[in-house]
Amino acid sequence: MRRILAQARKELVQVARDRMALILALVLPAFLLLLMSTAISLTVDEMPMIVQNLDGSSASIRLLDAFRASLTFKIVPWSVDANPERALSSGVARAALIVPEHFGRDMARGGGAAVQLLVDASDANTAQQVSGYAQQVVNSYNIGLASPGRSAPVTAAIRLWFNPGRDSKKFYGPGIFVLALTLFPTLLAALAVSKEGEEKTILQVYVSNISAHEYLLGKIAAIMVVFACEAVILMALLLTYFGLHLAGDPTPFVVASILYAFCVASFGVMVGASIPNQLGAVAVVALGGFLLVFILSGLLFPIENIPPALRWMSNFVWGRYYIEVVRDALLQGGGWPATWYKVGIIGLIGSVFYSVAWWNMRAMQVRD
């Protein structure tokens, strides 16, 4: 135990002395969290839209007023006789609403009066949002504005749970939190071990009487301390700047965080022990830590959207489970019933990484 602590202390002193490592460890994660979760959002407001009113009746003007009043659309000027498609292809607008002639007459007659909405679908997801918002504006126009004495037979009172403001930051914040906590501690752990291999200082460790377990656990303990510091800084940001708060029982989150710290530190140590070359280790961490966790964990898009041929892979991505636990702790508040097996899997994957790292180091001998 004493030897583990000594090893951990030496590791922390090294990190604290190396300015590059210190920036890597403490400043960059916070920067990444702020930048990425502010920049990444899929929900669009103030969509530029053009309108062409070929009718001019009072009904058509009221319909266009409804669009003008919405926060989602921003009406940009466009001449009535110019080709509306031109506005979309040049990127002036993302949607065009065209009210045909005789719209007012059709409305007064009763029955359906059609208006056309052209949507730039080169971004399919945004296109779906735009058409959904437009449909909502039209629905509320139909209910209220068109005929004040009448209302639609069936309406839905939609309640948004867990994130009522539909704030993207609150969804991506916890995800980027996990991404940062995956990337940087892993990188530090991998560099700490591979550096000893590259600079051959590992030989001094081999000739000492320290065992493989003690050596690895010492490194892991140091990285877990770094992880804890990072987690505190990032969590402080989430709770203040992002306006999140702990929803429900925080104990699953705390337990999962400790296990996850062990998991990423073990992954880094495993990479470092297998590749005694700093550049190679960084490349593997970039590929394994960053790419896997970034794209296969449901950070950006739901896992269900991944085609089944690739989806099974996400079951092995450690970051995925921690993201789900963090989101649960900060948004949904499902507590242990919702998360117990995820916490378990994080521990399981971590011990697999540790075993592989130990297997590589167990002899404490120079490999030939």
Partner 1 sequence: MFLGRFRALILKEFRQARRDRRIAFVAIGAPTIQLLVFGFVLSATVTNLPLGVVDESATPESREVVAALTESKSFRLGGYYSSVNDLGAALGRGDLDAGVVIPYDYARNLQRGLPVTMQFFMNATNANTAAIGQGYVAGVLGSYASQLAMGGIHVRRPPPGVRPVVTRGIVVLKTDYLYDPGLVGSWFMVTGILGMLLILNGSLLSSTMMVKEKSAGTIEQLLMSPATTTEIIIAKITPLFTLLLIMGTIALVAIRFVFGVPFQGNVLVVFAGAVLCMLSGIGLGMLVATLTKTAQQAQLSVFFLNPPLASLSGAFTPIQAMPKWLQPLTLLNPIAYFATIVRGALIKGSGIDVLWPDFLGLGLFTLVVVSLSVWRYRSQLG
Chain residues 26-65 in contact with partner 1, contact rule CB under 8 A: 28, 32, 35-36, 38-48, 59, 63
3-state secondary structure of 348: helix
Task: Find tokens 């690895």 and name the residue.
Answer: 216
Tokens representing 75 are 């009406």
Query: In whole angstroms, how close is the CB of 126 to partner 1 at the nearest point?
Result: 5
CB 192 within 8 A of CB 147: no
Which of the ranges 49-57, 168-176, 231-239, 350-358 carries the binding residues for partner 1, by CB under 8 A?
A: 168-176
CB 90 within 8 A of CB 78: no
Which of the ranges 4-12, 82-90, 201-209, 254-262 carries the binding residues for partner 1, by CB under 8 A?
A: 82-90
Question: Is 124 an interacting residue with respect to partner 1 (CB under 8 A)?
Answer: yes
Which of the ranges 9-17, 147-155, 261-269, 357-365 carries the binding residues for partner 1, by CB under 8 A?
A: 147-155
DSSP H helical ranges for 24-95: 28-39, 58-69, 84-89
Select from 10, 102, 150, 245 the one that contacts partner 1 (CB under 8 A).
150
Question: Is 196 an interacting residue with respect to partner 1 (CB under 8 A)?
Answer: no
Q: Pick from 173, 175, 196, 180: which is nearest to 289 by CA?
A: 180
Residue 364 backbone dihedrals phi, psi, to 5 degrees: 55, 45
> What mask of x and - would describe binding to partner 1 in positions 206 to 235, judged by CB under 8 A?
------------------------------
Dist CA 112 CA 280 (whole Å): 65
Query: In whole angstroms, how close is the CB of 278 to partner 1 at the nearest point?
Result: 6
Q: Interface residues for partner 1 in 332-361 (CB under 8 A)? A: 332-334, 337-338
Question: Is 117 an interacting residue with respect to partner 1 (CB under 8 A)?
Answer: yes
Question: Is 241 an interacting residue with respect to partner 1 (CB under 8 A)?
Answer: no
CA distances from 69 to 44, 47, 129, 150 (A): 16, 13, 17, 22
Task: Find tokens 């065992």 and name the residue.
Answer: 211
Select from 5, 30, 75, 106 the one that contacts partner 1 (CB under 8 A).
106
Which of the ranges 9-17, 104-112, 255-263, 349-357 carries the binding residues for partner 1, by CB under 8 A?
A: 104-112
Report DSSP state, residue 53: E
Select from 162, 340, 341, 359 the one that contacts partner 1 (CB under 8 A).
162
Which of the ranges 11-19, 108-116, 229-237, 256-264 carries the binding residues for partner 1, by CB under 8 A?
A: 108-116
CB 342 within 8 A of CB 325: yes
158: left (phi over 0), alpha (psi -120 to 50) or beta: beta
Question: Is 131 an interacting residue with respect to partner 1 (CB under 8 A)?
Answer: yes
Select from 110, 207, 209, 365 the one that contacts partner 1 (CB under 8 A).
110
3-state secondary structure of 48: strand
Dist CA 346 CA 255 (whole Å): 10
Query: In whole angstroms, how close is the CB of 198 to partner 1 at the nearest point?
Result: 10
